[in-house]
Amino acid sequence: MTKALKDIYSKEFIFHFAGVVKQVYQGFHAEVFCEMIFEGNWKEKALKERMRHITRCLHQTLPPDYREAIDILLQTVPYIHDQELAYLFLPDFVEAYGLDDWETSISALETFTQYTTSEFAVRPFILKDQERMVIQMAQWAVHSNHRVRRLASEGCRPRLPWGMALQGLKGNPLPVISVLENLKQDESLYVRKSVANNLNDISKDHPDFVLRIAKEWYGSNPYTDWIVKHACRTLLKQGNKQALSLFGFENAYAVQVEDFSLDTDRVRIGDSLHFSFRVIAEDEMPCTVRIEYAVDFVKAKGHRSKRMFKIAENVLRKGSALVYNRKQNFKDLTTRKHYAGVHTLSILINGEVKASKDFIVE
């Protein structure tokens, strides 16, 4: 059975960390700290609730002076060798108690992110003083450590999953670009993924803005090209013509889908639907194709919502054919629940629907 993510905070982990704190600060009451952690409704707490609970217990058992407490926590980081996610409570301590001590907190976040990640804890500082933090992130963007450089991008993502939204940067993403400009050719894939995700976030609110950046950046450097392509993934899924054209996915009029078939016209919730099709080209010139399929899912109130799935990208020449066999699972997930009704599965080439079939989910 798969363990829940919140179980990274096991008794073994808590006891180990308490021992580390005791090692660097002899006045720490490790037994009291551990008792406080597990009292009450610990088992019912979700991941972020457990993290914040650990933060509060540390605040109650470390010296009351914030700078002294931070100095102790900074001494624990050399002992972090694995389970980096578990140590999110270190930057969380800064978020919870350090908003009024800017210099101490920003320096601590810079250090902590090199062992875990400060991407969530930095966001209240952006909300408090966006201009000052944009300047700070521009400095982090040229840091020698790639984890700090990633923080420069990840911390200012307007729509960071699990993180509070940054309404100011959602409304005007221009300050973000001043940070990302220094990261668009970064040698670290860890950093480049963050830059692409940041731009993809922005594209959901400002598609034309991201398209302009993509056109300016694309073709200058292989690292940057990867970022731009990954950043435009939502626009590509939406069939945005400018995004498709930028990467050569156009002129699909001479590409056809044949032998499109479903293995059944009825599928039960929990089962899978198998389908197959061929893609052929009729033009003399080679054609770059982006092949996707879409499912119009029935929702709880009876309306339908389309979801796109990428299959492949290829160069297709006349006389050649690409054959695909795929499976769509209709098992309920935490992120998607299925409902009975008529669904539609469509095959798209370069954003254009080439074939569709209805089927019933029951």
Residue appearing with tokens 């392509």: 229
- Whether the per-residue pLDDT at 335 is higher than 90: the answer is no
Of 86, 119, 105, 118, give the one whose Cα is nearest residue 20.
86
Stronger pLDDT, 30 or 3, i.e. the higher one: 30
pLDDT in tens, 174-193: 999 999 999 999 999 999 99
Do 40 and 3 form a contact (C-beta atoms < 8 A)?
Answer: no
pLDDT score of 214: 97
pLDDT in tens, 66-102: 999 999 999 999 988 877 889 999 999 999 999 999 9
Q: What is the mean pLDDT of residues 9-28?
A: 95
**Mean pLDDT value across the chain:** 94
Q: What is the mean pLDDT of residues 321-325?
A: 93
Give the distance from CA 313 to its chain's centroid: 23
Q: Per-residue confidence at 2, pLDDT binned at 50, 70, 90?
A: low
Tokens of 302: 């009876």
Tokens of 145: 């450590």
Q: Which fold has domain 252-361?
A: Immunoglobulin-like (2.60.40)
Non-local (6+) Cβ contacts of 129 within 8 A are: 102
Q: What is the pTM of this model?
A: 0.88
Least confident of 132-136, 280-284, 358-362: 280-284
Coil/strand/helix, residue 314: strand
Rounded distance between C-alpha atoms, residue 350 and residue 331, angstroms: 29
pLDDT in tens, 208-240: 999 999 999 999 999 999 999 999 999 999 999
What is the residue-wise DSSP string for 234-291? Answer: HHHHTT-HHHHHHTT---GGGEEEEEEEES-SEE-TTSEEEEEEEEEE-SSS-EEEEE
Domain ranges of the chain: 5-180, 252-361
Cβ burial of 256 (10 Å; 0-12, 13-18, 19+) is middle
Rounded distance between C-alpha atoms, residue 343 and residue 360, angstroms: 6
Report how far apart, in Å, the C-alpha atoms of 320 and of each of 190, 251, 259, 278, 309 are: 38, 17, 15, 10, 23
Rounded distance between C-alpha atoms, residue 312 and residue 24, angstroms: 53
